[in-house]
Structure 1
């Protein structure tokens, strides 16, 4: 009985060690260590959430980048309009009708740029006909009583309807005095400053997203390290243990065989 019990114990330990070697885990289920398994599962879940958030940040960041680049181009086109108005103001002999035609063409380019500055069907420069809504960017989660709470920040969208309307209100051809052209210059300069401000806002949002993604990457690495410390097996140790148990199994099998032969040897004495 002792030899049989020893063999069963060795085989049980061998099966457990083989499982650790094949999976690389010392805690494969709650049965192995309920506390460690629960903590590891929570950390795995958090890591998965943060990975999903990081992927979404990539999409959001690309949308903001496209909007920033579109607004940069719109700002450059608006500066060209400023140049045309300045020409009309500085030289009274210029063909104002031609200059106005150029201004109208530049405004058309602005409208085209605005409509094309979309990513994944999302535009931060074009209204859908409803009230302008700001963009909420989810940056992470935090654990509070009752579950997970998201963290976020808001990016204010650049609604260009008024911007374009103000530019369309400029008409150097019909300007009757210097004050009209001065007002036109002021209008264009105001639009340039407005575009520059929103371009800056988008740039800051891009940088914030980039920084947050870097942080999430480091955070997920820490989660993975923490999970590994809780559930990963020491493969060198387990390999050595596996070899030792295989030898023990062979010896226990031989011992059981010898134990089974002993009664037969005793009976032979009575023959």
Structure 2
């Protein structure tokens, strides 16, 4: 039955065209943004997971930046500590030389005083961003945030803990060693023994700083790799497949043209009823 009030064919054609236009708009949006999941309405599950992972990636990047500052402070302190090790070794060598009979102890003392002063200078200059880890004020127990972990819905931080040695205090111990031509052999031997003990402490402090610096570098490398994995995971869920979207766009444009033609044909059908009244 034909009707001039209800055109079922046109209604169906219009419904099809609307569906195609919706898909076409969605595809064009994916092509323009490069994303297949722009909001929770696109895919609630993927949106929730990708947002959480993206947040973790951002936190890892922020922690990594903090580790860079910490590493620079530790690296600067290590350089200073290693310089003090070299000077302290030379200090011990000169004291060992002073044990020799007939050596002018006064001249040796001048060398020792100079070496102790150089140690002080190296320590004072081993500062980064206002932090000096080998000074008396900056030494002690330290804690560096190394990452963020998630257990269910609970976030917690991981840390790298270490103790920075007080080389300023040790430098004072070296400076406190004095010898003269009147110094006895026993006192010279005691001074050498004490200086060797101070040297061992300086070496330990430099070694500890080197270990910490390496630990921070290793953690940064891990965070870089982890961040890349998280970003890749997020991308696999929300990034649009451009090759697929391009093919889909071509297909939908053809469907749109055919659907428009079909609607035009359906709209002309009621006019055919006029021929019945001629």
Asked if TM exceeds 0.5, the reply is yes
- Find the counterpart in structure 2 of residue 97 from structure 1: 106
Distance 1:35 1:146 in 2: 16
Q: Is residue 2:137 matched to residue 1:163?
A: no
Q: Is residue 2:22 matched to residue 1:15?
A: no
SS at match of 1:202: helix
- Find the counterpart in structure 2 of residue 228 from structure 1: 235
What 5-or-longer segments of structure 2 have no aligned partner?
1-10
Choose from 112, 115, 126 the match for 1:106.
115
TM-superposed CA distance for 1:146, in Å, is 5.5
C-alpha contact (below 8 Å) 1:88/1:96 kept by paired residues: yes
C-alpha contact (below 8 Å) 2:123/2:168 kept by paired residues: no
Which protein is bigger by CA-based radius of gyration?
Answer: 2
Alignment of 1:83-232 (within 5 A): 83-92=93-102, 94-128=103-137, 132-144=139-151, 147-173=154-180, 175-232=182-239
The alignment covers a number of residue pairs equal to 268
Distance 1:251 1:221 in 2: 45
Q: Is residue 2:40 matched to residue 1:30?
A: yes
- 1:53-75 Cα offsets, whole Å, 9 max, x none, are 11211221121111111111101
- 1:218-248 Cα offsets, whole Å, 9 max, x none, are 2112111221222222222211111100111
Distance 2:153 2:55 in 1: 16
Q: How does the TM-score come out when normalised to structure 2? A: 0.91
C-alpha contact (below 8 Å) 2:88/2:199 kept by paired residues: yes
Distance 1:69 1:176 in 2: 35
TM-superposed CA distance for 1:268, in Å, is 5.5
C-alpha contact (below 8 Å) 1:175/1:181 kept by paired residues: no
What 5-or-longer segments of structure 1 have no aligned partner?
none
Q: Which moved more, 1:155-164 or 1:70-79?
A: 155-164
Q: How does the TM-score come out when normalised to structure 1? A: 0.93
TM-superposed CA distance for 1:9, in Å, is 0.7
- 1:236-267 Cα offsets, whole Å, 9 max, x none, are 22111111001111111122222222323433
- 1:73-92 Cα offsets, whole Å, 9 max, x none, are 10111111112212221132
C-alpha contact (below 8 Å) 2:81/2:167 kept by paired residues: no
When the two chains are superposed, the root-mean-square deviation of aligned CA atoms in Å is 1.7
Q: Is residue 2:78 matched to residue 1:80?
A: no
